[in-house]
Amino acid sequence: MSFDSGFHLKGMAMTLNDFSKVLNYIDGERIPSLSGETLDNYEPATGQLLGTLPDSKSEDVDLAVSAAKKAQKAWGELSPEVRGYHLENLAQGIEDHIAEFALAESTDNGKPISVSKGLDIPRAAANLRFFAGAARYQSEEAFRTRLPGDDLLNVTVSRPVGIAGCISPWNLPLYLFTWKIAPALAAGCTVVGKPSEITPLTADLLARVAIHVGFPPGVLNIVHGTGPSVGSAIVGHSEIPAISFTGGTATGAAMAHQSAPLFKKSLLELGGKNPTIIFDDAPLDSAVEGAFRAAFSNQGQICLCGSRILVHKNIIDDVTESLLKKISEMVIGDPLNENTMMGALVSENHLKKVESCLQTAREEGGKILTGGERFSPEGRCADGYFLTPALINGLPHSAKTNQEEIFGPVASLIPFSNEEEAFLQERIYALEEVLFG
Ligand code: NAD
């Protein structure tokens, strides 16, 4: 098997606006699961069925692995330059169709179209370009060992490890899928990728772009389906020596448990519970703006969201008032409207999970100052999974609400009196994380 030096068929017609049928992408072709079984895919902003995706099983993963294995040698032997051209063709294919990709992302995930257009999709293309460049300019290390009577030069040689299994979550679907696959492809690995079953659309559009730009068959394979069937089959597969995963901490722990005895190389990017700390000498407007954006961007569904806001007690009343004002001015509604600031949560299950976290906050004695209510916009989004942004106070650091990831539009205010107290709480939190998980 050999590949040419890369080309780009710019301007040819390609259908990217049909969301009804997501397919697997194996050996350069879009195909259904071998069993023909499918899962339903819903639009979070309307609660309506969007279409189906393959409900793949281990046999589909096997098929993808054999395609990836067949393509691996030729791909790994290409120069980084040429692999870079292929990745840049994919990036260009995305950039040529930003509007269609953004529409698909917001429809599938519920995030505002301005975020998809301005951040998620451009960043997905940038990921491919970044790793195309990084592989081109990667230097290899040499170091010298001088012993009596001997002078040795040791050289580090980077070689592709083989097939990489890349598994990604739903909150930044194409952005994080490309963040997983791009470094593996640039390094000369072939890939069996699994996007989240909750947001499969843009990975399917990427497959259509890959076919369109002549991306080499078998190098990138995409298998859709659930974590327990497809994800677990990838993690446990004997022909996949490396796993790159982004997702929840509990899933990461289960994967580490499965892959550690197989001595796989694994990269796990997991959950977060981050503090924003505002001191009393901070410029109030920009500090509040930063805390607000950190807490509520992407409906609070980002691993690095600032979901705990630690505020010096001298200014906590002012900060609270400013945050409440900003929350009250937020435009919540149809993610496809350009002026929407907060869209829908990703699924009904996730909405219920966030609501149960708010119930926990109430039971712990927290006061919900605003929000946390279901919201029904007028028109096509009346049955969507909307929740008004919530601001809580009155809970100590140790409360479950302040310790566990909520991953929704919920922020908790925690006062502190001085730097030592703020950092001590943070150190205790970090220590508890290390000791007790
Ligand atoms: P998740 O862990 O439920 O799912 C992530 C992916 O893993 C999905 O593709 C899923 O199908 C798959 N999966 C589930 N069970 C599996 C199993 N047993 N074996 C293999 N694969 C399995 O996470 P999610 O709900 O999709 O995403 C939200 C989480 O992701 C949050 O905790 C968030 O903090 C985290 N996240 C972390 C980062 C980061 O960079 N650290 C970035 C984004 C999201």
Mean pLDDT in consecutive groups of 10 residues from the start of the chain, 437 residues = 50 73 98 98 98 98 98 97 97 97 98 98 98 90 92 92 98 98 98 98 98 97 98 98 97 96 95 93 97 97 94 97 98 98 98 98 98 96 98 94 96 94 72 61
CA distance 223 to 237: 14
Choosing from 174, 229, 232, 251 the residue with most ligand 1 atoms within 8 A of its CB, the one to mutate for a pocket test is 251
Residue 228 in contact with ligand 1 by CB distance below 6 A: yes
The pLDDT score that the predictor gives to residue 421 is: 85
Question: Contact 168/247 with Cβ under 8 angstroms?
Answer: yes
CA distance 204 to 321: 44
CA distance 264 to 232: 14
User: Closest ligand 1 atom, CA of 303?
Assistant: 34
Residue type, 55: D
CA distance 173 to 194: 11
Nearest CA to ligand 1 atom 17: 227
CA distance 82 to 339: 41
The pLDDT score that the predictor gives to residue 1 is: 59
In the 8-state DSSP scheme, what is residue 110? -
| Nearest of 159, 194, 164 to residue 33 by alpha carbon | 194
In the 8-state DSSP scheme, what is residue 78? S
Please measure the distance between the N-terminal and C-terminal CA atoms of the chain and give it in whole angstroms: 47
- Own/partner pairs for 144-149, CB < 8 Å, 24+ apart? none
Query: Backbone phi, then psi, for 281, in 5-degree steps?
Result: -100, 10
Helices 201-212 and 173-186, axial angle in degrees (round to 10): 40
The pLDDT score that the predictor gives to residue 27 is: 98
Residue 179 in contact with ligand 1 by CB distance below 6 A: no
Structure-token pair, residue 259: 């892959």
Catalytic annotation, residues: 269, 303
CA distance 297 to 40: 27
Choosing from 109, 175, 268, 303 the residue with most ligand 1 atoms within 8 A of its CB, the one to mutate for a pocket test is 303
Helices 173-186 and 98-109, axial angle in degrees (round to 10): 120
In DSSP notation, 251-320 reads HHHHHHHHHGGGT-EEEEE----EEEEE-TTS-HHHHHHHHHHHHHGGGG--TT-EEEEEEETTTHHHHH
3-class DSSP assignment, residue 435: helix
Structure-token pair, residue 236: 């446990």
Question: Contact 250/405 with Cβ under 8 angstroms?
Answer: no
The pLDDT score that the predictor gives to residue 262 is: 95
CA of 58 to the centre of ligand 1 (A): 19
For residue 386, count CB atoms less than 10 angstroms from its CB and return exposed for 0-12, middle for 13-18, buried for 19 or more. buried
